[in-house]
Amino acid sequence: MSPRRALFGRALRDSRTRTLSFAALFVVAAGTQGPTYRSAYPTLAERAELARSFGANEGTRLLYGVPHDLLTTGGWLSWRLGFLPVFAALWGLFGAVRSLRTEEESGRQELVLAGVVGRSAGFLAATGAVAAGAVALWLAIFLAVLPARVDVGGTAYLALALTTPAFVFAGVGAVTSQLAPTRRGALGIGGAVLVAALVMRMVADTSSTLQWLRWATPLGWTEELRPFVGARPAVLAPLVMLTALLVLAAWRIAQRRDVGAGLLPARDSAPPRLVGLSSPSAYAIRGQLGSLLSWLAGASLVAVLLGALSGSVSDAISEGLNEQFEKLGTPLNQAQGFLGMEFFFLVVAICVLVCLQVASAREEEAEQRLETLLSLPVSRRRWLAGRLGVAALAAATIALVAGLLAWVGAASAAVDVSLAEMLEAGANALPVALLFLGLAALAYAIAPRASSAIALGLVGVSFLWDTIGSLVDVPGWVLGLSPFHHVALVPAEDFQATAAAIMLAIAATTAIAAVHLFERRDLVVT
């Protein structure tokens, strides 16, 4: 096997968990929209009412963009999947930084380049793996949309439109990996670019005078591709050109700079920052603070928007769609039902968060930072228990803040829902999140290399088991195998105290077992 092929294969293996997780998200999002639309809005009159309700709603434009045709399945898919390009951009950014800057920061790239592999071969292998992952995301969306019975060519074009930001922001990540001397710096710069692009797209979609801003952002170009609603394939040209220029610029810089360095100067010295060094838990918070604040900001923004939209959206729900969601536990034609269903997705997101926190602990072990920490008077029991405590604290903070801000958004739109109900909706996420935290910790203690895939896979399978099973009317005992089936849709339903107590008991048991087993196994690096 050639060195370039070996590096390409390793980069693909390193990214498989992230790619599979995003692909699963895309499959669920894209695969459910077409059939749901056709069954919920079967008549032209219902579709016209849908277009009237959503067409002028600025809140939905912030999330999905400008709707051009909500009378057809293709037009609905083109608009309703408008949030996926942001996730594709995130995937591309993280993938490029992981394949380029993280490899250098860990010292592995220097060892590779000390052999027969040149810089060009290493760079092309890393970027090629990211491109292959983006193609996998395209294929996931394409296959998920096909059952909606829309044109195959249009489906391929839709999948391409939704995944083009993955290529563009992979280019952004490649450039920031050359600029910043650290992974965190590269992600910070790339994240700022993504936020700026998203803000410009939102402003353009909600303003009658600043629509030209859509042409200043790659996310706006993606929207202008308009699959199924007057396709504009010529807009692919600037997307392809920008991606090529970014990758070429990153490659040229990579040939000339020192390995491990960046064009931006690194600080060789700085005043000591002692905050967060008092204990392993405080150090974990210090290291994860940026990521956790990003989760908090994202959840807060979504919660405010959902609260503000809960009244108008629930009024626009058709009878057919309402019947479909009643199978999942609650009707959507009331604000409480809409909020309960949307907070269910927040529950899933928080479960993913705690699994990623355990993955972060695994990364600390794999990169041998944990070995240094444990050489100090720090026990394994204290370290892992502290990391699990940080994950639980982060989950509780995000859940309760989301409940508070959803109430603020609902109150601003004069929706009749109390603060206590929304705080309860936030707290409702914690039992199942702690359950998956305990299971993820147990997987980490037993099979550290596969722990991330196991934990995220359990969340994904459990979610699909409950939602798809509910829609196709499988027996109740089968649905009961999924923890999500025992999560009440608060505030539309009463909190299920018994189920919560059982999940908390399982969470405590698995967490204790994880700590006990972790004390007795060897540390495992890459």
What would the DSSP string read from start to end of 200-235? HHHHHHH-SS-GGGGGGSHHHHHHHT-TTSS--GGG
pLDDT tens-digit series, residues 335-350: 787 788 788 888 988 9
User: Which tops the pLDDT comparison, 351 or 284?
Assistant: 351
Last residue of a domain, one of 200, 231, 263: 263
The answer to whether the CB of 465 falls within 8 A of the CB of 481 is yes
Report the pLDDT value the prediction gives residue 370, as an integer from 0 to 100: 86
Same domain, 282 and 179: no
The answer to whether the CB of 173 falls within 8 A of the CB of 94 is yes
Element at 166 (helix H, strand E): helix 152-179
The whole-angstrom separation of Cα 100 and Cα 291 is 20
Report the pLDDT value the prediction gives residue 526, as an integer from 0 to 100: 65
Same domain, 185 and 292: no
Q: Mean pLDDT of all residues in the chain?
A: 84
The whole-angstrom separation of Cα 330 and Cα 258 is 59
| C-alpha closest to that of 304 among 406, 177, 200, 199 | 406
User: Which tops the pLDDT comparison, 138 or 462?
Assistant: 138
Q: Is the pLDDT of residue 430 over 90?
A: yes
Q: Is the pLDDT of residue 325 over 60?
A: no
Confidence grade of residue 266 (pLDDT, cut at 50, 70, 90): low
Look at residue 319 and tell me if it is in a domain: yes
Task: Tell me what the mean pLDDT of segment 393-417 comes to.
Answer: 90
Task: Tell me what the mean pLDDT of segment 180-187 comes to.
Answer: 84
The whole-angstrom separation of Cα 406 and Cα 410 is 6
Report the pLDDT value the prediction gives residue 257, as an integer from 0 to 100: 81
Look at residue 348 and tell me if it is in a domain: yes
pLDDT tens-digit series, residues 296-324: 888 888 888 888 877 666 555 555 555 55
Within 13 A of 168's CA, how many CA atoms are on the CB side? 27
Task: Tell me what the mean pLDDT of segment 461-466 comes to.
Answer: 82
Look at residue 271 and tell me if it is in a domain: no
* Structural domain boundaries, residue 414: 277-526
Same domain, 309 and 167: no
pLDDT tens-digit series, residues 136-182: 999 999 999 988 878 899 999 999 999 999 999 999 999 999 998 88
The whole-angstrom separation of Cα 173 and Cα 490 is 39
Report the pLDDT value the prediction gives residue 25, as an integer from 0 to 100: 80
Give, as one character, the DSSP assignment of residue 264: S
Number of structural domains in the chain: 2
Same domain, 344 and 254: no
Same domain, 314 and 197: no
| C-alpha closest to that of 486 among 435, 523, 442 | 435
Look at residue 446 and tell me if it is in a domain: yes
Write the CA distances from 80 to 59, 77, 298, integer angstroms: 13, 5, 19
The whole-angstrom separation of Cα 175 and Cα 172 is 5
Give Rg (Cα) of the chain: 24
**What are the b/e assignments for 175-199, b being 16+ CB within 10 Å?**
bbbbbbbbbebbbebbbebbeebbe
The whole-angstrom separation of Cα 489 and Cα 348 is 12
Q: Could you tell me how far CA 295 lies from the centroid of its own chain? A: 10
Maximum Cα interatomic distance, the chain, rounded to a whole number of Å: 70
Report the pLDDT value the prediction gives residue 294, as an integer from 0 to 100: 81
Lowest mean pLDDT among 74-83, 112-121, 146-155, 460-469: 112-121
3-state DSSP assignment of residue 270? coil
Confidence grade of residue 515 (pLDDT, cut at 50, 70, 90): very high
User: Which tops the pLDDT comparison, 409 or 273?
Assistant: 409
Lowest mean pLDDT among 60-69, 212-221, 249-258, 395-404: 60-69
Q: Is the pLDDT of residue 224 over 90?
A: yes
Same domain, 221 and 359: no
Same domain, 246 and 125: yes
Q: Is the pLDDT of residue 8 over 90?
A: no
Look at residue 210 and tell me if it is in a domain: yes
Residue 221 has which token pair? 């170009």
Confidence grade of residue 268 (pLDDT, cut at 50, 70, 90): low
User: Cα dihedral angle (119, 122, 128, 134), rounded to 10 degrees?
Assistant: -110
Same domain, 252 and 371: no
The whole-angstrom separation of Cα 402 and Cα 298 is 10
Same domain, 520 and 457: yes
DSSP 186-208: HHHHHHHHHHHHHHHHHHHHH-S
The answer to whether the CB of 125 falls within 8 A of the CB of 8 is yes
Same domain, 131 and 44: yes
Same domain, 337 and 258: no
Q: Is the pLDDT of residue 261 over 80?
A: no
Q: Is the pLDDT of residue 512 over 90?
A: yes
Number of helical H runs and strand E runs in the chain: 23, 0
Same domain, 395 and 455: yes
Report the pLDDT value the prediction gives residue 524, as an integer from 0 to 100: 83
Q: Is the pLDDT of residue 10 over 90?
A: no
Look at residue 268 and tell me if it is in a domain: no
Q: Is the pTM of this model over 0.75?
A: no
Confidence grade of residue 401 (pLDDT, cut at 50, 70, 90): very high
Look at residue 272 and tell me if it is in a domain: no
Top-confidence range, 252-266, 295-309, 470-484: 295-309
Residue keyed to tokens 């996420």: 429
Look at residue 269 and tell me if it is in a domain: no
Residue type, 342: E
Last residue of a domain, one of 209, 239, 263: 263
Q: What phi and psi, each to the nearest 5 degrees, are found at residue 230? A: 85, 65
The answer to whether the CB of 117 falls within 8 A of the CB of 2 is no
The answer to whether the CB of 444 falls within 8 A of the CB of 518 is yes
Please name the residues in contact with 502: beta carbons below 8 A apart, sequence gap of 6 or more.
Answer: 486
Q: Tell me how far apart the terminal alpha carbons of the chain are, to the nearest angstrom.
A: 21
The whole-angstrom separation of Cα 355 and Cα 388 is 10
Residue keyed to tokens 């409950």: 466
Write the CA distances from 82 to 125, 173, 277, 489, integer angstroms: 31, 22, 42, 26
The answer to whether the CB of 415 falls within 8 A of the CB of 311 is yes
